Structure 1
């Protein structure tokens, strides 16, 4: 049976529900716009602050570095101490430091503020996922809510580029105007959330301690790995620089230690089945440990669990999460990395192609990207209507194919051709494909996550997209630089750099096609997600075809 709706859900009006979805989606839009509006403003920032090219790179990288590396930690805090509290505090923090970025007077200060700014984004996004999971029980309404929220990621990226270009070129304060607007939007989301979000429900976790060691290990590991991905190509000796090699080794070492530590904690803190509330007290959750009969065996189990709780906290992230739905959650996380490597790699190079190769101004480049937010919003409505009706495979595979098609079009682009031949269809395909994958992936992960780990599971998904962004931009930059050096070696400048831009698009196309093949292999026969009866058993279609009895996949009622 699907879990009963929360008490607040039965009293909430349709307008109130819409407000919750809009506010959570606005937080997602702002978070992803923070990753892109700076990119299109970099030439102007460099001129006004007299910044070096290396410093400009960090203006882009600092925000996703801190945001992506702290998502897991803040997801756990949100699940324990309240998702509404995490959202409000994160939004306030984000608004304050986004505003501060607008007053920076040098590139170093701006880069530091961008890193601090990312902490606010790391707090709001996992909390938003948890708020939606708490507010909407499995139903078509939940499908629409998650699809709308997920659409905020690609739409936010597109909106960031468009708004960034327009404000930078047409306003008095140029690039600073973008930070002022983003600060205002974060503040508005905080105020709206204070009134619209349901009160936080008490966590059902018996042990609400935080795994500080795990948080330190995963944060340090991700920071070092993402730092290497962003800095390796810019270092003096490139990837051979000693500090790049040391940081990469240390980062991988910390991540391996984190996984080992989490596996140990997961064995000591297995997910326990939770009994339904007693009829006399609908708000009381009875845990089997608390209601177990007094017997030597039960007392021994209680003593063992008590010892584990005394010396080790619950895991920050259960490695078993990756094995849910017969390992398909782990595959979905891998697809998220490759999808965002393709999508954000394409987005990064398309802006440089228009401005650096074609020679367009920021505003003229933005005009050619306007279809992205428009199509993203329209696609959001479509995804909300179909995500609970069409099998996961078709949504994921078609989305990945569309994203790959966008890269393929620019890998074959003819600069002399009309915009409608290559630019327009690629712009539409990129954002529609990203919408399909992000919405379906987010809902899929939420459907197989236990109630107390919704924010953490969503935080892992967001972390994968951030890693994918760094991976896509890094690998495509390596390809561009190698081809550029080869072209420059043919003779004195100027040389046509079009082959270098095309090869970056072939790289993004390869990322997208690898993800497509993964979806075809691992999601074949998988049913739909988002409706009662499908959340608990997401492999129903496979089992029915095999002629076997359906086996429910209920993580909240399974000891792993």
Structure 2
């Protein structure tokens, strides 16, 4: 079939951007700011709640307002980057995120805080897909691409743990407001660097009109889905409100797919989603994030409540996971990405992470940090880092330049929805197991506090078993669906052969 692209792709002999490595620094800095913000506020929340008089019933909205806006608008933000220009969208996202952070840090009441968190989510939804798509269209040489995505993958995987460290330090030694204010220097430095060093490839924008029905349906559908999992955590999975939200999400997202299959210029071209390798990446990555975000929650509570760690000590206790992720991304994934097929990095990486999770199922009140938690975190970090790096690259590689933004948004969407599901699903499982343990052992208990601690740890261990299984499914999806060979070889993919990952579809750089 002849190609009818408005922006026909060029091969890998395009002129490389001489400032591409400087640009990577500022793209990575912006990504770090967005990712760590997902966890940095968690540690500061108790202090912020007390200062601002936020009720227990409404405190979840400090987290939920961000998640709903960010998750619901990601596809729109990705397509806007394709239409409006990735660099421009990136800069607007940075400036807006900094302004929203300043508003949150200066909040004088509940409404101001919740509004600032929603605005952070809105601008984050512009920033995150623009950052990844800029990386995708800037690095076209496979060896350079491997290094660049190794760095980006380490940040995407480890940023949440960095947020726990930074949040603990700022809350304990300064003030909870600095968990917001700290974003401002990040954003200013990244924006200045982006303005001077990022050069977006010429002719890579999508000039098609915006798919308004697709924007409305996808935004409402994703908001309903994320909110349904949030409500399930508090109200229960069988509550009428929870089931109603899930039903609404299914109807809206089904309508979105039907619209995208028929409109001339879809918000999310189904060629991006249905190509076998990219679909496998979105599914396996989203599932892996479910287990990882659940673990952040459990270990944070275990270390602070059971072990009595301070917020700063808790943050530093996550360092082995960060070290493992950086090593897995930059030393394993990046070095092997050009030598072996992606599935042979992603599948074993998820299995290694599952082994780390498996160790944590043995968690007890008296468990040794050095003997159990540290090696488990190292294995988890190494596995996730090794798997994340090729996943980030494969999710955008081979896609036409005009679709790079929305393909990048799908990566972030799978992670965001995965994080919401992980927090709600695994926390619900842990809570149920905890309640059952207390009921079974209450009669013979002599120390109620000890019983509560034992029940809590029992609940965490039960939920972590589910996380092990979820990582196993992620590995299975990677092995089964990701069929492309190593970069530079013929692909075995089924689906749209036009999107084969060994073809670089990036126009020349405009200077």
TM-score normalised to the size of structure 1?
0.81
Residue number among 32, 36, 48 corresponding to 1:33 in the alignment: 36
- 1: distance between equivalents of 2:123 and 2:205? 26
The more displaced of 214-223 and 126-135 is 126-135
Q: Is 2:321 the partner of 1:372?
A: yes
Q: 1:4 to 1:388 in 2, by over 3 A?
A: closer
Q: CA deviation at 1:246?
A: 2.2
Contact kept, 8 Å, 2:324 with 2:385, in 1: the verdict is: no
Query: Could you say which residue in structure 2 is the equivalent of 1:321?
Result: 272
Deviations 1:31-59 (A, max 9, x none): 11010111222333333334333323222
Alignment of 1:102 with 2:105, yes or no, is yes
From 475, 480, 483, give the equivalent of 1:516.
475
Equivalent in the alignment of 2:258: 260
* TM superposition shift of 1:199: 4.4
Cα displacement string for residues 428-471 of structure 1 (whole angstroms, at most 9, x for unaligned residues): 22222222222211211222311211111111111011111111
Which residues of 2 match residues 310-389 of structure 1 at below 5 A? 314-324=265-275, 327-382=276-331, 383-389=333-339
2:162 is equivalent to residue 159 of structure 1: yes
Shift of 1:552: 7.2
Name the SS of the counterpart of 1:66 in structure 2.
helix
Q: Helix, strand or coil for the counterpart of 1:264?
A: coil
Quick check: 2:134–2:200 contact (8 Å CA) kept in 1? no
- Indicate the SS of the match to 1:420: helix
Q: Distance in 2 between matches of 1:330 and 1:517?
A: 14
- Indicate how the Cα distance of structure 1 residues 243 and 331 shifts in structure 2: closer, same or farther if over 3 A, else same: same
Q: Does the Cα contact within 8 Å between 1:348 and 1:473 map onto a contact in 2?
A: yes
C-alpha change, 1:6 and 1:448, in structure 2 (3 Å) is closer
Task: Indicate the residue corresponding to 2:3 in structure 1.
Answer: none
Tell me the CA shift for residue 245 of structure 1. Answer: 2.6
Q: Is 1:75–2:33 an aligned residue pair?
A: no
- Separation of aligned partners in 2, 1:147 and 1:29: 14
Counting only pairs closer than 5 Å after superposition, residues 289-304 of structure 1 correspond to structure 2 as none
Residue 309 of structure 1 aligns with which residue? Answer: none
- Partners in 1 of 2:182 and 2:504 — Cα distance? 45
| 1:48-447 paired onto structure 2 within 5 Å | 48-171=51-174, 174-199=175-200, 201-203=202-204, 205=206, 207-235=207-235, 238-265=236-263, 269=264, 314-324=265-275, 327-382=276-331, 383-447=333-397
C-alpha distance after superposition, 1:274-315 (max 9, x if no partner): xxxxxxxxxxxxxxxxxxxxxxxxxxxxxxxxxxxxxxxx01
Q: What is the Cα deviation at residue 361 of structure 1?
A: 1.8
**1:508-529 CA-partner distances (Å, limit 9, x unpaired):** 1111111122223334x64223
Partner of 1:539: 492
Displacement of 1:82: 0.7
Q: How many aligned positions are there?
A: 484
Higher relative contact order (CA 8 A, sep 6+): 2
Residues 110-134 of structure 1: per-residue CA shift (max 9 Å, x gap): 2231111111111112111221222
> Structure 1 residue 381: deviation in Å?
2.4
Counterpart of 1:469 in structure 2 is 419
> 1:130 & 1:321 partners in 2: Cα distance?
13
Q: Decide whether the 8 Å contact of 1:6 with 1:134 is kept in 2.
A: no
**Which stretch shows the higher mean deviation, 66-75 or 430-439?**
430-439
**Which ranges of structure 2 fall in alignment gaps of 5 or more residues?**
1-8, 506-511
Cα pair 1:83 1:200 within 8 Å, conserved: no
CA contact (8 A) 2:71 2:416 kept: yes
Unaligned runs of 5+ in 1: 270-313, 543-550
In 2, Cα distance between the equivalents of 1:93 and 1:416?
A: 46
Q: List aligned pairs for 1:495-506, cutoff 5 A.
A: 495=451, 496-497=454-455, 498-506=457-465
Alpha-carbon separation, structure 2, partners of 1:135 and 1:158: 28
Q: Per-residue CA shift, 1:78-113, capped at 9, x if unaligned?
A: 112210000000100000001111111234432231
